[in-house]
Chains A and B, each alone.
Chain A
Amino acid sequence: MVTRGFSGRPRQGSADRVPPGQTPTDDFPVLSAGPTPHIATTDWAFALKVGPKPIARWSWAEFNALPQTTLTRDIHCVTQWSKLDTRWRGVTIDDLLAAAGVAAPTGYALAHSFDGYSTNVPSADLLGGKAMIALAYDDAPLAAPHGGPARLLVPHLYFWKSAKWVNALQFTQRDEAGFWELRGYHMYGDPWREQRFSGD
Protein backbone atom coordinates (compact mmCIF):
# COMPACT_ATOMS: atom_id res chain seq x y z
CA MET A 1 0.00 0.00 0.00
CA VAL A 2 1.59 3.29 -1.10
CA THR A 3 1.40 5.94 1.61
CA ARG A 4 0.03 9.22 0.28
CA GLY A 5 2.70 11.91 0.27
CA PHE A 6 5.61 9.71 1.42
CA SER A 7 8.80 9.64 -0.63
CA GLY A 8 11.38 8.68 1.99
CA ARG A 9 15.03 9.51 2.31
CA PRO A 10 17.27 9.64 -0.75
CA ARG A 11 18.10 5.99 -1.52
CA GLN A 12 21.59 5.09 -0.40
CA GLY A 13 24.25 3.20 -2.31
CA SER A 14 24.48 0.70 0.53
CA ALA A 15 20.86 -0.38 0.02
CA ASP A 16 21.90 -3.93 -0.88
CA ARG A 17 23.41 -4.24 2.58
CA VAL A 18 20.37 -2.96 4.46
CA PRO A 19 17.56 -5.52 4.92
CA PRO A 20 13.92 -4.59 4.24
CA GLY A 21 12.32 -2.29 6.81
CA GLN A 22 15.70 -1.23 8.24
CA THR A 23 17.30 2.22 8.29
CA PRO A 24 21.07 2.68 8.52
CA THR A 25 22.37 4.67 11.49
CA ASP A 26 25.79 5.96 12.45
CA ASP A 27 24.87 5.91 16.13
CA PHE A 28 24.89 2.82 18.29
CA PRO A 29 21.51 2.73 20.04
CA VAL A 30 21.15 0.82 23.30
CA LEU A 31 18.14 -1.39 23.99
CA SER A 32 17.62 -3.72 26.91
CA ALA A 33 14.83 -4.95 29.12
CA GLY A 34 16.24 -3.84 32.47
CA PRO A 35 18.93 -1.81 34.22
CA THR A 36 22.47 -2.16 32.89
CA PRO A 37 24.38 -4.61 35.11
CA HIS A 38 27.90 -3.48 35.91
CA ILE A 39 29.90 -6.67 36.17
CA ALA A 40 33.46 -6.53 37.45
CA THR A 41 35.81 -8.72 35.45
CA THR A 42 36.88 -10.27 38.78
CA ASP A 43 33.28 -11.52 39.18
CA TRP A 44 32.98 -12.59 35.56
CA ALA A 45 32.90 -16.22 34.48
CA PHE A 46 31.69 -18.05 31.41
CA ALA A 47 30.36 -21.60 31.30
CA LEU A 48 29.76 -24.04 28.48
CA LYS A 49 26.94 -26.47 29.21
CA VAL A 50 25.29 -29.47 27.61
CA GLY A 51 21.77 -29.53 28.95
CA PRO A 52 22.08 -28.86 32.68
CA LYS A 53 25.67 -30.14 32.82
CA PRO A 54 28.62 -27.69 32.79
CA ILE A 55 31.45 -29.04 30.63
CA ALA A 56 33.86 -26.08 30.77
CA ARG A 57 34.28 -22.86 32.68
CA TRP A 58 36.59 -19.87 32.21
CA SER A 59 37.52 -16.93 34.40
CA TRP A 60 38.05 -13.52 32.77
CA ALA A 61 41.81 -14.07 32.57
CA GLU A 62 41.42 -17.60 31.22
CA PHE A 63 38.88 -16.46 28.65
CA ASN A 64 41.09 -13.62 27.45
CA ALA A 65 43.93 -16.09 26.93
CA LEU A 66 41.87 -17.98 24.31
CA PRO A 67 42.59 -17.26 20.61
CA GLN A 68 40.89 -14.04 19.54
CA THR A 69 39.46 -13.04 16.19
CA THR A 70 38.44 -9.70 14.70
CA LEU A 71 35.18 -9.52 12.74
CA THR A 72 33.80 -6.55 10.80
CA ARG A 73 30.08 -7.07 10.22
CA ASP A 74 26.80 -5.24 9.59
CA ILE A 75 24.32 -5.51 12.45
CA HIS A 76 20.54 -5.24 12.32
CA CYS A 77 18.23 -4.49 15.26
CA VAL A 78 14.58 -5.53 15.19
CA THR A 79 13.77 -1.94 16.20
CA GLN A 80 14.58 -1.08 12.60
CA TRP A 81 18.11 0.31 12.72
CA SER A 82 21.10 -1.22 10.99
CA LYS A 83 24.72 -0.30 11.53
CA LEU A 84 27.25 -1.12 8.85
CA ASP A 85 30.87 -2.20 9.27
CA THR A 86 30.89 -2.66 13.03
CA ARG A 87 34.23 -4.00 14.25
CA TRP A 88 34.42 -6.59 17.01
CA ARG A 89 37.10 -8.70 18.68
CA GLY A 90 36.50 -11.82 20.69
CA VAL A 91 36.55 -15.59 20.82
CA THR A 92 34.70 -17.44 18.06
CA ILE A 93 32.39 -20.21 19.18
CA ASP A 94 34.53 -22.57 17.08
CA ASP A 95 37.60 -21.65 19.14
CA LEU A 96 35.59 -21.88 22.35
CA LEU A 97 34.46 -25.43 21.56
CA ALA A 98 37.99 -26.37 20.49
CA ALA A 99 39.33 -25.07 23.82
CA ALA A 100 36.77 -27.24 25.60
CA GLY A 101 37.75 -30.19 23.40
CA VAL A 102 34.23 -30.83 22.08
CA ALA A 103 32.24 -30.53 18.88
CA ALA A 104 28.78 -28.96 19.03
CA PRO A 105 26.92 -31.71 20.90
CA THR A 106 23.37 -30.79 19.81
CA GLY A 107 21.65 -28.78 17.10
CA TYR A 108 20.54 -25.87 19.27
CA ALA A 109 21.90 -23.55 21.90
CA LEU A 110 20.63 -21.04 24.44
CA ALA A 111 22.82 -18.10 25.41
CA HIS A 112 22.36 -17.00 29.03
CA SER A 113 23.21 -13.67 30.61
CA PHE A 114 24.08 -12.32 34.05
CA ASP A 115 20.74 -10.49 34.27
CA GLY A 116 18.57 -13.52 33.53
CA TYR A 117 18.19 -12.84 29.80
CA SER A 118 18.38 -15.73 27.37
CA THR A 119 18.07 -16.25 23.62
CA ASN A 120 18.13 -19.29 21.36
CA VAL A 121 20.29 -19.82 18.28
CA PRO A 122 20.76 -22.99 16.18
CA SER A 123 24.26 -24.41 16.60
CA ALA A 124 24.92 -24.11 12.85
CA ASP A 125 24.51 -20.32 13.16
CA LEU A 126 27.18 -20.19 15.86
CA LEU A 127 29.83 -22.16 13.98
CA GLY A 128 32.00 -21.63 10.93
CA GLY A 129 33.23 -18.25 12.12
CA LYS A 130 29.71 -16.80 12.13
CA ALA A 131 29.55 -15.94 15.84
CA MET A 132 31.75 -15.03 18.76
CA ILE A 133 31.80 -14.02 22.39
CA ALA A 134 32.83 -10.40 21.82
CA LEU A 135 35.13 -8.69 24.30
CA ALA A 136 35.91 -5.49 22.37
CA TYR A 137 34.10 -3.11 20.05
CA ASP A 138 36.03 -0.70 17.83
CA ASP A 139 39.30 -1.76 19.52
CA ALA A 140 38.10 -0.76 23.00
CA PRO A 141 36.80 -2.97 25.82
CA LEU A 142 33.07 -3.50 25.35
CA ALA A 143 31.17 -0.89 27.40
CA ALA A 144 28.54 -2.08 29.91
CA PRO A 145 25.52 -0.55 28.09
CA HIS A 146 26.57 -2.47 24.97
CA GLY A 147 26.90 -5.74 26.88
CA GLY A 148 30.36 -5.56 28.40
CA PRO A 149 32.44 -7.23 29.70
CA ALA A 150 31.29 -9.75 27.04
CA ARG A 151 28.35 -10.31 24.73
CA LEU A 152 27.38 -12.89 22.18
CA LEU A 153 27.72 -11.64 18.60
CA VAL A 154 25.62 -13.35 15.92
CA PRO A 155 25.56 -10.53 13.41
CA HIS A 156 23.58 -12.26 10.66
CA LEU A 157 20.51 -12.53 12.92
CA TYR A 158 18.49 -9.69 14.47
CA PHE A 159 20.55 -8.21 17.25
CA TRP A 160 18.42 -9.40 20.19
CA LYS A 161 20.07 -12.77 19.47
CA SER A 162 23.45 -11.21 20.33
CA ALA A 163 22.86 -11.50 24.08
CA LYS A 164 24.51 -8.82 26.23
CA TRP A 165 26.32 -9.66 29.49
CA VAL A 166 26.55 -13.28 28.39
CA ASN A 167 27.78 -15.81 30.95
CA ALA A 168 26.89 -19.21 29.50
CA LEU A 169 26.25 -21.06 26.30
CA GLN A 170 24.02 -24.07 26.82
CA PHE A 171 23.50 -26.70 24.14
CA THR A 172 19.96 -28.08 24.11
CA GLN A 173 18.29 -31.05 22.44
CA ARG A 174 15.36 -28.95 21.24
CA ASP A 175 15.04 -25.36 20.01
CA GLU A 176 14.01 -23.75 23.32
CA ALA A 177 12.60 -20.22 23.27
CA GLY A 178 14.54 -17.51 25.11
CA PHE A 179 13.37 -14.28 26.75
CA TRP A 180 12.00 -12.37 23.77
CA GLU A 181 11.07 -15.50 21.88
CA LEU A 182 8.68 -16.35 24.74
CA ARG A 183 7.20 -12.88 24.28
CA GLY A 184 6.24 -13.16 20.65
CA TYR A 185 9.52 -12.60 18.86
CA HIS A 186 10.69 -14.95 16.12
CA MET A 187 12.52 -18.18 17.00
CA TYR A 188 15.18 -17.62 14.31
CA GLY A 189 15.22 -13.89 13.45
CA ASP A 190 16.68 -13.59 9.94
CA PRO A 191 16.64 -9.86 9.06
CA TRP A 192 16.68 -10.59 5.30
CA ARG A 193 13.43 -12.52 5.65
CA GLU A 194 12.10 -9.95 8.16
CA GLN A 195 11.53 -12.61 10.81
CA ARG A 196 10.69 -10.10 13.51
CA PHE A 197 7.75 -11.77 15.23
CA SER A 198 6.52 -15.34 15.51
CA GLY A 199 4.58 -16.07 12.35
CA ASP A 200 6.67 -13.72 10.17
Chain B
Amino acid sequence: MATDGPRFAIAPTKLLWQPAKIGAIALQTPRVKSFFFDLAQPFAFQAGQHVDVRLTAPDGYQAQRSYSIASAPATAGVIELAVERLEEGEVSPFFHDVAVVGDSIELRGPIGGHFVWSVADGGPLLLFGGGSGIVPLMSMLRERAACRATLPTLLLYSARAWDDLIFRDELLALQDRHDGFELVFVLTREPARRERDYARRVDAAMLAETLARVDGSARHAFVCGSNAFVEAAADALLQTGLGAALIRTERYGQ
Protein backbone atom coordinates (compact mmCIF):
# COMPACT_ATOMS: atom_id res chain seq x y z
CA MET B 1 0.00 0.00 0.00
CA ALA B 2 1.28 3.43 -0.84
CA THR B 3 2.29 5.38 2.20
CA ASP B 4 2.28 8.83 0.68
CA GLY B 5 1.64 11.67 3.09
CA PRO B 6 -1.76 13.09 3.88
CA ARG B 7 -3.69 14.25 0.87
CA PHE B 8 -6.74 16.38 1.25
CA ALA B 9 -7.96 15.55 -2.21
CA ILE B 10 -11.47 16.34 -1.18
CA ALA B 11 -11.96 19.38 0.95
CA PRO B 12 -12.98 18.63 4.53
CA THR B 13 -16.32 20.28 3.91
CA LYS B 14 -19.67 18.72 3.24
CA LEU B 15 -20.01 16.95 -0.10
CA LEU B 16 -23.32 18.15 -1.44
CA TRP B 17 -25.70 16.29 -3.71
CA GLN B 18 -26.45 18.15 -6.91
CA PRO B 19 -28.74 17.43 -9.82
CA ALA B 20 -26.73 16.81 -12.98
CA LYS B 21 -28.36 16.77 -16.39
CA ILE B 22 -27.44 14.06 -18.85
CA GLY B 23 -26.12 16.06 -21.82
CA ALA B 24 -25.15 13.12 -24.02
CA ILE B 25 -25.04 9.33 -24.04
CA ALA B 26 -22.57 7.28 -26.09
CA LEU B 27 -22.53 3.53 -26.63
CA GLN B 28 -18.95 2.39 -25.92
CA THR B 29 -19.30 -1.39 -26.18
CA PRO B 30 -22.33 -3.70 -26.30
CA ARG B 31 -22.42 -3.58 -22.48
CA VAL B 32 -21.05 -0.14 -21.66
CA LYS B 33 -22.52 3.30 -22.19
CA SER B 34 -20.93 6.63 -21.37
CA PHE B 35 -23.07 9.31 -19.76
CA PHE B 36 -21.94 12.92 -19.97
CA PHE B 37 -23.29 14.96 -17.06
CA ASP B 38 -23.55 18.76 -17.04
CA LEU B 39 -22.73 19.81 -13.48
CA ALA B 40 -24.78 22.66 -12.06
CA GLN B 41 -21.95 23.24 -9.58
CA PRO B 42 -18.71 22.16 -11.26
CA PHE B 43 -16.01 20.80 -8.97
CA ALA B 44 -12.29 20.31 -9.38
CA PHE B 45 -11.15 16.72 -9.15
CA GLN B 46 -8.09 14.53 -9.63
CA ALA B 47 -7.84 11.78 -12.21
CA GLY B 48 -8.83 8.52 -10.52
CA GLN B 49 -11.54 9.94 -8.27
CA HIS B 50 -15.17 8.88 -8.33
CA VAL B 51 -18.64 10.24 -7.67
CA ASP B 52 -21.60 8.75 -5.87
CA VAL B 53 -24.84 8.61 -7.83
CA ARG B 54 -28.21 8.45 -6.08
CA LEU B 55 -31.50 7.37 -7.63
CA THR B 56 -34.77 8.00 -5.76
CA ALA B 57 -38.05 6.15 -6.30
CA PRO B 58 -41.44 7.88 -5.82
CA ASP B 59 -41.84 6.17 -2.41
CA GLY B 60 -38.54 7.61 -1.19
CA TYR B 61 -36.49 4.43 -1.67
CA GLN B 62 -32.96 5.27 -2.76
CA ALA B 63 -30.17 3.35 -4.42
CA GLN B 64 -26.61 4.67 -4.43
CA ARG B 65 -23.62 3.57 -6.44
CA SER B 66 -20.05 4.80 -6.95
CA TYR B 67 -18.76 5.44 -10.46
CA SER B 68 -15.24 6.48 -11.40
CA ILE B 69 -14.88 9.58 -13.52
CA ALA B 70 -13.62 8.80 -17.04
CA SER B 71 -13.12 12.36 -18.22
CA ALA B 72 -10.01 14.42 -17.54
CA PRO B 73 -9.93 17.05 -14.80
CA ALA B 74 -9.25 19.61 -17.55
CA THR B 75 -12.81 19.26 -18.81
CA ALA B 76 -14.44 20.28 -15.52
CA GLY B 77 -18.08 21.23 -15.82
CA VAL B 78 -18.93 18.07 -17.73
CA ILE B 79 -18.02 14.69 -16.33
CA GLU B 80 -18.17 11.38 -18.14
CA LEU B 81 -19.19 8.21 -16.30
CA ALA B 82 -18.99 4.86 -18.10
CA VAL B 83 -21.63 2.46 -16.83
CA GLU B 84 -21.38 -1.27 -17.47
CA ARG B 85 -24.67 -3.09 -17.61
CA LEU B 86 -24.84 -5.66 -14.79
CA GLU B 87 -27.72 -8.05 -15.42
CA GLU B 88 -28.47 -8.49 -11.73
CA GLY B 89 -28.02 -4.80 -11.11
CA GLU B 90 -30.47 -2.20 -9.99
CA VAL B 91 -28.79 1.02 -11.03
CA SER B 92 -26.91 0.05 -14.20
CA PRO B 93 -30.02 -1.36 -15.97
CA PHE B 94 -31.78 1.93 -15.14
CA PHE B 95 -29.00 3.84 -16.86
CA HIS B 96 -29.00 1.53 -19.87
CA ASP B 97 -32.73 1.10 -20.36
CA VAL B 98 -34.45 4.15 -18.87
CA ALA B 99 -32.16 7.19 -18.65
CA VAL B 100 -32.23 9.55 -21.64
CA VAL B 101 -30.59 12.84 -22.54
CA GLY B 102 -32.17 15.63 -20.53
CA ASP B 103 -32.81 13.54 -17.41
CA SER B 104 -31.48 14.88 -14.13
CA ILE B 105 -29.56 12.52 -11.86
CA GLU B 106 -28.32 13.34 -8.35
CA LEU B 107 -24.62 12.94 -7.77
CA ARG B 108 -21.89 14.20 -5.45
CA GLY B 109 -18.14 14.22 -5.52
CA PRO B 110 -15.30 14.13 -5.97
CA ILE B 111 -14.54 11.19 -3.70
CA GLY B 112 -11.33 9.28 -2.99
CA GLY B 113 -7.88 10.64 -2.23
CA HIS B 114 -5.65 7.60 -2.71
CA PHE B 115 -6.23 6.16 -6.18
CA VAL B 116 -5.34 9.48 -7.81
CA TRP B 117 -2.66 10.77 -10.12
CA SER B 118 -1.79 14.08 -11.70
CA VAL B 119 0.92 15.04 -14.19
CA ALA B 120 2.81 16.72 -11.34
CA ASP B 121 3.18 13.29 -9.70
CA GLY B 122 5.32 12.27 -12.70
CA GLY B 123 6.24 8.83 -13.94
CA PRO B 124 7.03 6.29 -15.15
CA LEU B 125 3.36 5.52 -14.73
CA LEU B 126 2.07 1.95 -14.89
CA LEU B 127 -1.64 1.37 -15.38
CA PHE B 128 -3.36 -2.02 -15.23
CA GLY B 129 -7.06 -2.20 -16.01
CA GLY B 130 -9.45 -5.13 -16.17
CA GLY B 131 -12.84 -4.62 -17.83
CA SER B 132 -14.55 -1.48 -16.60
CA GLY B 133 -11.50 -0.93 -14.37
CA ILE B 134 -10.15 1.09 -17.31
CA VAL B 135 -12.36 4.04 -16.36
CA PRO B 136 -10.28 5.84 -13.70
CA LEU B 137 -7.11 4.99 -15.66
CA MET B 138 -8.65 6.64 -18.74
CA SER B 139 -9.03 9.84 -16.77
CA MET B 140 -5.29 9.69 -15.97
CA LEU B 141 -4.37 9.04 -19.62
CA ARG B 142 -6.61 11.86 -20.82
CA GLU B 143 -5.05 14.17 -18.24
CA ARG B 144 -1.59 13.17 -19.45
CA ALA B 145 -2.59 13.82 -23.07
CA ALA B 146 -4.33 17.12 -22.28
CA CYS B 147 -1.14 18.33 -20.59
CA ARG B 148 0.97 17.09 -23.53
CA ALA B 149 3.07 15.20 -20.98
CA THR B 150 5.57 12.68 -22.32
CA LEU B 151 6.40 10.78 -19.15
CA PRO B 152 6.82 7.05 -19.82
CA THR B 153 3.44 5.42 -19.37
CA LEU B 154 2.19 1.87 -19.80
CA LEU B 155 -1.40 0.75 -19.98
CA LEU B 156 -2.08 -2.97 -19.85
CA TYR B 157 -5.80 -3.40 -20.41
CA SER B 158 -7.51 -6.78 -20.14
CA ALA B 159 -10.98 -7.54 -21.48
CA ARG B 160 -12.76 -10.59 -22.78
CA ALA B 161 -12.81 -9.58 -26.44
CA TRP B 162 -11.70 -6.85 -28.84
CA ASP B 163 -15.21 -5.40 -28.91
CA ASP B 164 -15.34 -5.26 -25.09
CA LEU B 165 -12.40 -2.83 -24.96
CA ILE B 166 -13.90 0.45 -23.74
CA PHE B 167 -12.29 3.57 -25.28
CA ARG B 168 -10.40 1.27 -27.70
CA ASP B 169 -10.14 3.66 -30.65
CA GLU B 170 -9.20 6.58 -28.43
CA LEU B 171 -6.46 4.47 -26.81
CA LEU B 172 -5.12 3.43 -30.21
CA ALA B 173 -5.06 7.10 -31.24
CA LEU B 174 -3.18 7.99 -28.04
CA GLN B 175 -0.58 5.35 -28.86
CA ASP B 176 -0.20 6.80 -32.37
CA ARG B 177 1.05 10.04 -30.81
CA HIS B 178 4.35 8.25 -30.03
CA ASP B 179 4.81 10.35 -26.91
CA GLY B 180 6.00 7.65 -24.53
CA PHE B 181 2.67 5.86 -24.14
CA GLU B 182 2.85 2.08 -24.47
CA LEU B 183 -0.47 0.27 -24.96
CA VAL B 184 -0.96 -3.46 -24.43
CA PHE B 185 -4.32 -5.14 -24.91
CA VAL B 186 -4.91 -8.48 -23.21
CA LEU B 187 -7.85 -10.53 -24.47
CA THR B 188 -8.98 -13.46 -22.38
CA ARG B 189 -11.50 -15.04 -24.77
CA GLU B 190 -10.18 -14.15 -28.22
CA PRO B 191 -6.88 -14.31 -30.09
CA ALA B 192 -4.71 -11.20 -29.89
CA ARG B 193 -5.15 -8.82 -32.81
CA ARG B 194 -1.95 -6.81 -32.56
CA GLU B 195 1.62 -7.98 -32.57
CA ARG B 196 2.55 -7.22 -28.97
CA ASP B 197 -0.81 -7.93 -27.37
CA TYR B 198 -1.65 -11.04 -25.37
CA ALA B 199 -4.42 -13.62 -25.35
CA ARG B 200 -4.34 -15.10 -21.87
CA ARG B 201 -4.94 -14.05 -18.31
CA VAL B 202 -2.46 -11.68 -16.68
CA ASP B 203 0.58 -13.38 -15.15
CA ALA B 204 4.01 -12.43 -13.84
CA ALA B 205 5.83 -13.35 -17.08
CA MET B 206 3.53 -11.08 -19.09
CA LEU B 207 4.04 -8.18 -16.69
CA ALA B 208 7.82 -8.64 -16.63
CA GLU B 209 7.84 -8.54 -20.45
CA THR B 210 5.69 -5.45 -20.71
CA LEU B 211 7.47 -3.61 -17.90
CA ALA B 212 10.71 -4.09 -19.84
CA ARG B 213 9.24 -1.86 -22.58
CA VAL B 214 8.98 1.09 -20.19
CA ASP B 215 11.95 3.44 -19.82
CA GLY B 216 13.06 3.92 -16.23
CA SER B 217 11.86 2.34 -13.06
CA ALA B 218 8.22 2.73 -12.10
CA ARG B 219 7.18 5.52 -9.76
CA HIS B 220 3.45 4.79 -9.67
CA ALA B 221 1.37 1.70 -10.38
CA PHE B 222 -2.41 1.71 -10.44
CA VAL B 223 -4.44 -1.49 -10.70
CA CYS B 224 -8.21 -1.41 -11.16
CA GLY B 225 -10.76 -4.05 -12.02
CA SER B 226 -12.60 -7.00 -10.53
CA ASN B 227 -11.16 -8.41 -7.34
CA ALA B 228 -9.86 -11.45 -9.24
CA PHE B 229 -8.06 -9.22 -11.77
CA VAL B 230 -6.60 -6.95 -9.11
CA GLU B 231 -5.36 -9.86 -7.00
CA ALA B 232 -3.72 -11.48 -10.04
CA ALA B 233 -2.18 -8.29 -11.41
CA ALA B 234 -1.00 -6.94 -8.04
CA ASP B 235 0.52 -10.29 -7.05
CA ALA B 236 2.24 -10.54 -10.44
CA LEU B 237 3.61 -6.99 -10.04
CA LEU B 238 5.03 -7.90 -6.64
CA GLN B 239 6.67 -10.94 -8.26
CA THR B 240 8.40 -8.69 -10.81
CA GLY B 241 10.01 -6.94 -7.85
CA LEU B 242 7.90 -3.79 -7.75
CA GLY B 243 7.53 -2.52 -4.17
CA ALA B 244 4.11 -2.90 -2.56
CA ALA B 245 4.20 0.76 -1.55
CA LEU B 246 4.16 1.83 -5.23
CA ILE B 247 1.03 -0.17 -6.02
CA ARG B 248 -2.40 1.35 -5.53
CA THR B 249 -5.48 -0.74 -6.13
CA GLU B 250 -9.16 -0.20 -6.63
CA ARG B 251 -11.51 -3.15 -6.76
CA TYR B 252 -14.96 -3.30 -8.25
CA GLY B 253 -16.93 -5.54 -5.91
CA GLN B 254 -16.53 -9.27 -6.54
User: Residues of A with Cβ closer than 8 Å to B?
Assistant: 1-9, 11, 20-23, 27, 29-37, 79-81, 115-117, 145, 179-180, 182-184, 196-200
Contact = CB atoms under 8 A, between A and B. Distances in A.
B12 A198 contact: yes
Given A31-B251, A117-B1, A37 B244 contact: yes
A34 B250 CA distance: 8
A35 B238 contact: yes
Q: 10 tightest CB-CB pairs across the interface, nearest first?
A: A34-B1, A183-B113, A199-B14, A184-B10, A35-B234, A5-B98, A115-B1, A21-B64, A29-B253, A3-B55
Given A34-B1, A36-B235, A4 B103 contact: yes
Given A9-B90, A29-B254, 17 more contacts: A3-B57, A6-B63, A8-B57, A29-B253, A30-B227, A33-B115, A34-B244, A34-B247, A35-B247, A36-B234, A37-B244, A115-B244, A116-B1, A182-B8, A184-B9, A198-B12, A199-B13
Contact of A182 (B7, B66, B238): B7
Contact of B105 (A3, A21, A27): A3
Contacts, number: 140
8 contacts: A3-B103, A30-B251, A34-B1, A34-B248, A81-B253, A116-B3, A183-B112, A198-B13
Nearest to B11: A184
Contacts of B237: 35
Nearest to A30: B227
B56 A33 contact: no
Describe A's contact surface by its main secondary structure: loop
Given A6-B98, A34-B234, A36-B235, A79 B245 contact: no
B164 interface: no
B7 A183 contact: yes
B64 A32 contact: no
A22 to B, nearest CB: 8
A190 B62 CA distance: 18
Contact of B227 (A23, A33, A145): A145
B92 to A, nearest CB: 12
A35 B245 CA distance: 9
A21 B55 CA distance: 10
A196 B64 CA distance: 12
Contact of B244 (A23, A35, A145): A35
Contact of B231 (A29, A31, A36): A36
